[in-house]
Amino acid sequence: MQFFMFHLMPWPDVPEDFDDLSKYPSAWVTLSNRYYDPVKGHQLYNTYLEQLEYAEQLGFDGACVNEHHQNTYGTMPAPDIIAAMLTRRTTRMKIAIVGNALPLRDHPLRVAEEIAMLDVVSGGRIISGFVRGIGNEYFSMGINPTYSQERFTEAHDLIIRAWTEDGPFQFEGKHYRLRYVNVWPRPMQKPHPPIWIPGFGSRETVEWCAHPSRKYAYMATYMPEEMIKFFFDLYRESASKHGYEASPYQMGHLIPIYVAETDKLAQEEAKSGILWLYHKGLRLKWEYVFPPGYVSVDSMKRTTANAAALDWAKMDFNYLNDKGYCIVGSPETVRQRLSAYVRELGFGLLLALLQFGDLPHYRVVKNMELFATQVMPKLRDEFRTMQQKWLKAA
Amino acid sequence: MDHHEEFIGVRGIRIKVLRGGSGAPLLYLHGAGGAGVWLPFFDLLAKDFTVLAPVHPGFAGSDGYDEIDDIHDLVFHYINLLDTLGLERPIVIGSSLGGWLAAEMAVHHRERVSKLVLIDACGLKVEGKPIADFFAPSPPELRRLVFHDAESELARAAVPDTPSAEQLDAILRARQAAARIGWNPFMYDPKLRQRLFRIAAPTLIVWGEDDRLVPIEHAKAYQAGIANSQFRAIEKSGHVPVLENSTQTARVIMQFLKS
């Protein structure tokens, strides 16, 4: 197994009456940036960066950053910038950007260039995630959501070619046209940095990742256990249809985790932050999440039917913890639950969200230390065979 | 009034057309909300005209979502449709998105439009009076934006809180087809205003006096740009006077067409 510390870098300081849904229907798009205080932001960014840097000292395999725009949930609109800071403050661990929202960029070659720069500077430690960006971001960035999927695919193809083919070459797509593709620098890792794709319930994405020409790792996010199982099984089935066996390292699970001395203490200490994440940071409006044409009409109908599984506002803390939207407990409880998940779901990459919502720094540090010293080593031991078999294959 | 549905092929795209009435041909171009239903408004026009109301490509009933990227693709499509139906020079009436389309047709193919009626038309940029975002609102918010009386039976039927499966299908298709054309710039063509002088057809500009979606200043901008044009406001109506006040809307249009 491999362990990554995931961070969202939230802005927890929402107005006191934020529970008033009529006043604050969404934490995204329209929540005014007048609630952002740059002086406090200075402190927060640096604290968050220290947490990610500390992950290397504690023996994590890597740190994860991601891209979101114009919201209180996560303040990393430019994840490559955060990755650049980490690159120079760490020496060993991987830095996973999960990911750059390709369709939101007007120039995919900027992504190819930035990732290549980071890979070269870091000595080949970059993992490059690609996402479409969630629906909200098409409102925030003015990009036509009906082209989201085709812009993603086209930008992806262009970036991979820019990393793997000798330039210059000409690229004539529908959305991007370039006479001279000739990216300097080239990435250090061959053929290119590993690619991770966070997913949010689309079957097409899973099948696309599993294709033998890609074999991209698929990350399940904020889903209940049975939904994750469905998508991981689908991944394995797609792989075997293509005649190969999917590795556990082609599947990742992003989940908020909190470890404290006892179950009771863990629940007391984590509750506010977990509820902040699911009730405040993820306060989304259906019309924002699914702008027109963002997914096909048929997918949209399926999603509308499954909406309850992702309607976090209606879930209380115990429900969230019981159903696997988070894992909160003593080291032994968390170890047992994760062990059961890994056995049941068969994934090899754990993306642990160890800071969430308004969880204060001292508790984040305690959480990281308990996780790294009392949970992670035992899981590594337990799944060592998996590690050896598949890492050798990789 | 007698009317029927037919399906025609326009350069390989299967298109649904509603047809009714008799007399000179009148092409009605629907708005972003959708189409495919024969309206009481059509009955009033069909007494004197042959009303032809096609469904735009990609909207429920017609194919061709992937054939249309922008308003100009839609103009080409409708010139092809006129050729397919053998319509040399029909009256063209358009509402909202359809009004924008009608204006573009009259700019680019002025020889193909005998008279032009623009109803609460999108299409122009008016400084300080942007067209409202109708993709972000929830159904109740959308009713307040679109209708003079947001809670009328008519408004609730047109924009339901919990649509049936068939309605949901139509809504999702209408949203994506409209967004593809008009997401950014939002429902306008930056070059249209400077080209309006090319419109040769006598033009009537009709506007719901309480339109919160496309502010009435857009009507004034169309009137200023089109030489032979006149303006009529419709009482007790928001963005869709053909629904909210079909009687007065049909009356002013008939007066114009018969003059």
10 Å Cβ neighbour count for A96? 30
pLDDT band at A154, cuts 50/70/90? very high
pLDDT tens across B110-140, in order?
999 999 999 999 999 999 999 999 999 999 9
Tokens of A345: 């779901």
Domain span at residue B232 reads 3-258
Higher-scoring residue by pLDDT: A202, A237: A237
10 Å Cβ neighbour count for A307? 12
**Could you tell me whether strands B3-10 and A327-329 are parallel, antiparallel, or unpaired per DSSP bridges?**
unpaired
Give pLDDT, residue A392.
60
Higher-scoring residue by pLDDT: A392, A152: A152
- With 80 as the cut, is the pLDDT of residue A394 above it? no
Interface A:B, Cβ pairs < 8 A: 51
- With 80 as the cut, is the pLDDT of residue A389 above it? no
Give pLDDT, residue A256.
97
Residue contact A297–B184, C-beta within 8 A:
no
B133 CB neighbours in chain A (<8 A) are: 139
Residue pair A215/A204 in contact (Cβ under 8 Å)? The answer is no
Residue contact B136–A139, C-beta within 8 A:
yes
Residue pair A97/A79 in contact (Cβ under 8 Å)? The answer is yes
User: Burial of A282 by CB count in 10 Å (0-12 exposed, 13-18 middle, 19+ buried)?
Assistant: middle
CATH number for position B167? 3.40.50.1820
Give pLDDT, residue A114.
98
Residue contact B183–A300, C-beta within 8 A:
no
Residue contact B179–A301, C-beta within 8 A:
no
pLDDT tens across A340-371, in order?
999 999 999 999 999 999 999 999 999 999 99
Interface test with B, best of A30, A104, A141, A297 (most B CBs within 10 A): A297
Interface test with B, best of A285, A287, A302 (most B CBs within 10 A): A287
Cis previous bond, A185, omega within 30 = yes
- With 90 as the cut, is the pLDDT of residue A47 above it? yes
Residue pair A370/A256 in contact (Cβ under 8 Å)? The answer is no
CA B34 to chain centre: 9
Question: Quick one: which of A170, A162, A166 has its CA closest to A193?
Answer: A162
- Partner residue opposite A144 with nearest CB, options B136, B173, B179: B179
The verdict on A291 touching B (C-beta cutoff 8 Å) is yes
Q: What is the mean pLDDT of residues A47-61?
A: 98
Give pLDDT, residue B239.
98
- Partner residue opposite A145 with nearest CB, options B133, B173, B183: B183
Q: What is the mean pLDDT of chain B?
A: 97
A145 CB neighbours in chain B (<8 A) are: 179, 183
The verdict on A306 touching B (C-beta cutoff 8 Å) is no
**Could you tell me whether strands B116-119 and B24-29 are parallel, antiparallel, or unpaired per DSSP bridges?**
unpaired
Shortest distance between the Cα of B235 and any Cα of chain A, in A, equals 31
Distances (CA, A) of A106 to A111, A144, A155: 10, 12, 10
Task: Tell me which residues of chain B, numbers 169 to 208, contact chain A at a CB-CB cutoff of 8 Å.
Answer: 169, 172-173, 175-176, 178-180, 183-184
Q: What is the mean pLDDT of residues A269-292?
A: 95
pLDDT tens across A104-142, in order?
998 999 999 999 999 999 999 999 999 999 999 999 999
Task: Tell me which residues of chain B, numbers 122 to 151, contact chain A at a CB-CB cutoff of 8 Å.
Answer: 133, 135-138
- With 90 as the cut, is the pLDDT of residue A304 above it? no
**Could you tell me whether strands A2-6 and B91-95 are parallel, antiparallel, or unpaired per DSSP bridges?**
unpaired
pLDDT tens across B156-177, in order?
999 999 999 999 999 999 999 9
- Partner residue opposite A301 with nearest CB, options B133, B168, B176: B168
Tally of domains in chain B: 1
What chain A residue is nearest to B169 in terms of C-alpha separation?
A297
- Partner residue opposite A146 with nearest CB, options B133, B169, B179: B179
Tokens of A129: 């995630």
Cis previous bond, A191, omega within 30 = yes
Q: Which residues contact A267 (CB under 8 A, 6 or more apart)?
A: A317, A321, A328, A329
B135 CB neighbours in chain A (<8 A) are: 139, 287, 291-292
What chain A residue is nearest to B172 in terms of C-alpha separation?
A297
Give the integer Cα–Cα distance in Å for A183 and A110.
9
Residue contact A287–B178, C-beta within 8 A:
no
Q: Record the pTM.
A: 0.95
Residue contact A304–B168, C-beta within 8 A:
yes
Hey, is B258 helix, strand or coil?
Answer: helix
